């Protein structure tokens, strides 16, 4: 390409830039001349983009929070628990089948015989409405009390903030010791007294606090800090109930071992529970990420609803913007005639109105995107998640603004471009 062609190309783009700058200036002046109408249209665009960006980004934050919460519970873990009662439909009609609870002997036998490189824990829910007391302070009767062994904290994703875990001796002999959650610590000690080595009362029994768990948060409806753990034997002795069922948590070393461990665990427990070939399992195995995937699926449906709401709002905004632009064309007919008389082409007039339409959409969308980011991060903050920038929805919102502006402005711009300059000059 010669220097002459390069110069001509540069000159062409320079002239186009000047024309674009002039059209933007004219569009801004027109918006200033119709402030109320432009503001109302921007407001509709604002709400539509806020709904689209804000709610969708907030749902992404919820998904991130769900993943974070369930990852902290052990991404490479699964749980073996008693299967719920099932209803079978046979030749003689419906009959309910109640599956037997997992006994302590079955759970301990599994732990002793499952020799893969995994961490196995046996636990049971001793009470879901325990009441704890220290001197004059008493908790509400909404504390979940678990009996667990030395591996329970690790397989359940809990970490100790203070103190220590149960020792082998305490597990073996059922010592009166307890590990409490952060909410329990605050309720009993108010942050003024050290909880370690203090003696608290649980349903009438005395227990020494040997550890306080780090906060897991109570987001998404899970009361992760309203929990208390005592040795498994202690729970069996003092919180025993008819048909008490035990749970087995298995934590694999990595995700590659998870599927293999799950299959081996199923085979071993069928043997322990005497489940014959072809017979339905009387227990169930749940992966740690299965509930997370279910919740994420639900949030995806909510996200689709938010997108539909945003699109409907933006359709209304585009109709309103088109109406305003058509009115603007009618009001500025004489102005269009003067511009054409001075040499403006139909394409220049068309570009002017298109740029004005896009500018209104972009301005409204800009503030809508900002509000969407703020909304998403407020929800993210309440879910104890980190600050994040929803770049996908920011870019999507910007593109949507451009599309809405072009679609809304095309018909008015075309109408303005086709006006006859002589008739336009006569227009009053």
Whole-number pLDDT of residue 133 = 93
pLDDT value at residue 64:
67
**What would the mean pLDDT of 166-185 be, rounded to a whole number?**
93
Predicted pLDDT of residue 384 = 61
**pLDDT value at 223 more than 90:** no
For residue 145, pLDDT beyond 90: yes
pLDDT at 104: 92
Q: Is the pLDDT of residue 72 over 80?
A: no
Tokens of 420: 């006859």
Examine the pLDDT at 137 and tell me if it is beyond 80: yes
pLDDT surpassing 60 at residue 221 = no
Burial 297-314 (b: 16+ CB within 10 A, else e): eebeeebeebbeebeebb
Residues 240-254: pLDDT tens digits? 888 889 999 998 877
Q: Report pLDDT for 219.
A: 47
Query: Using 50, 70 and 90 to split pLDDT, how confident is the model at 121?
Result: very high
pLDDT at 320 > cutoff 70: yes
- Segment 204-220 shows an average pLDDT of 82
pLDDT tops 50 at residue 152: yes
The pLDDT of residue 89: 46
The pLDDT confidence band at residue 284, using thresholds 50, 70 and 90, is confident
pTM: 0.56
Non-local (6+) Cβ contacts of 257 within 8 A are: 76, 116, 117, 118
91-115 burial: b if 16+ Cβ within 10 Å, else e: eeeeeeeebebbbbebbbebeeebe
What's the pLDDT at 201? 93
pLDDT given at position 29: 76
Question: Percent of the chain beyond pLDDT 70?
Answer: 83
What percent of the chain has pLDDT above 90? Answer: 22
Q: State residue 292's pLDDT score.
A: 60
Q: Identify which of 211-215, 282-286, 372-376, 417-421 has the greatest average pLDDT.
A: 211-215
Kindly tell me if the per-residue pLDDT of 65 is higher than 80: no
User: Which of the given ranges, 43-57, 170-184, 274-288, has the highest pLDDT on average?
Assistant: 170-184
Domain ranges of the chain: 3-69+294-426, 77-287
Q: Does residue 325 or residue 98 have the better pLDDT? A: 325
Nearest-angstrom CA–CA distance, 351 and 357 = 10
- For range 62-77, the mean pLDDT: 62
CA–CA distances in Å: residue 272 to residues 60, 113, 260, 279, 382: 43, 10, 19, 14, 45
CA–CA separation, 86 and 392 (whole Å): 45
Section 174-200 average pLDDT: 91
Residues facing 286 on adjacent strands: 79
On average, the pLDDT of the chain sits at: 80
Give the mean pLDDT of 15-37: 74
* Count of alpha carbons within 13 angstroms of residue 372, beta-carbon side: 34
Q: Is the pLDDT of residue 70 over 60?
A: no
């Amino acid at each position: 390409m010669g220097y002459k062609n390069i110069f001509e190309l540069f000159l062409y783009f320079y002239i186009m830039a000047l024309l674009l700058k002039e059209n933007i200036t004219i569009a801004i002046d027109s918006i200033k001349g119709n402030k109320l109408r432009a503001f109302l249209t921007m407001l509709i665009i604002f709400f539509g983009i806020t709904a689209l960006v804000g709610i969708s980004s907030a749902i992404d934050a919820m998904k991130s929070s769900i993943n974070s919460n369930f990852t902290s519970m052990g991404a490479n873990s699964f749980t073996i628990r008693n299967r719920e009662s099932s209803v079978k439909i046979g030749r003689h009609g419906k009959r309910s089948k109640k599956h037997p609870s997992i006994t302590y002997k079955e759970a301990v036998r599994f732990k002793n015989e499952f020799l893969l490189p995994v961490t196995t824990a046996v636990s049971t829910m001793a009470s879901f409405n325990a009441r704890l007391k220290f001197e004059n302070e008493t908790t509400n009767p909404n504390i979940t009390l678990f009996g667990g062994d030395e591996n329970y904290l690790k397989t359940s994703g809990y970490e100790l903030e203070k103190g220590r875990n149960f020792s082998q001796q305490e597990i073996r002999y059922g010592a009166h010791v307890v590990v409490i959650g952060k909410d329990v610590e605050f309720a009993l000690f108010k942050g003024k007294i050290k909880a370690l080595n203090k003696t608290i009362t649980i349903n009438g029994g005395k227990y020494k606090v040997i550890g306080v768990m780090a906060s897991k948060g109570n987001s998404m409806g899970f009361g992760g800090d309203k929990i208390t753990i005592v040795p498994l034997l202690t729970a069996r002795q003092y919180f025993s109930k008819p048909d008490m069922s035990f749970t087995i948590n298995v934590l694999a070393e990595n995700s590659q071992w998870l599927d293999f461990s799950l299959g081996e665990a199923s085979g071993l427990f069928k043997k322990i529970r005497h489940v014959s070939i072809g017979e339905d399992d009387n227990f169930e195995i749940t992966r740690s990420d299965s509930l997370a995937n279910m919740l994420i699926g639900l949030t995806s449906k909510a996200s689709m609803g938010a997108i539909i709401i945003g699109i409907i709002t933006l359709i209304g905004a585009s109709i309103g913007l088109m109406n305003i632009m058509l009115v603007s064309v009618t009001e500025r007919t004489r102005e269009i005639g003067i511009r054409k008389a001075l040499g403006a082409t139909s394409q220049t007039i068309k570009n002017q109105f298109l740029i004005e339409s896009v500018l209104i959409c972009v301005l409204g969308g800009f503030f809508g995107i900002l509000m969407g980011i703020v909304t998403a991060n407020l929800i993210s903050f309440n879910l104890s998640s980190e600050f994040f920038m929803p770049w996908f929805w920011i870019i999507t919102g910007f593109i949507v603004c451009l599309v809405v502006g072009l679609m809304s402005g095309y018909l008015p711009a075309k109408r303005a471009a086709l006006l006859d300059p002589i008739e336009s000059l006569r227009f009053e």
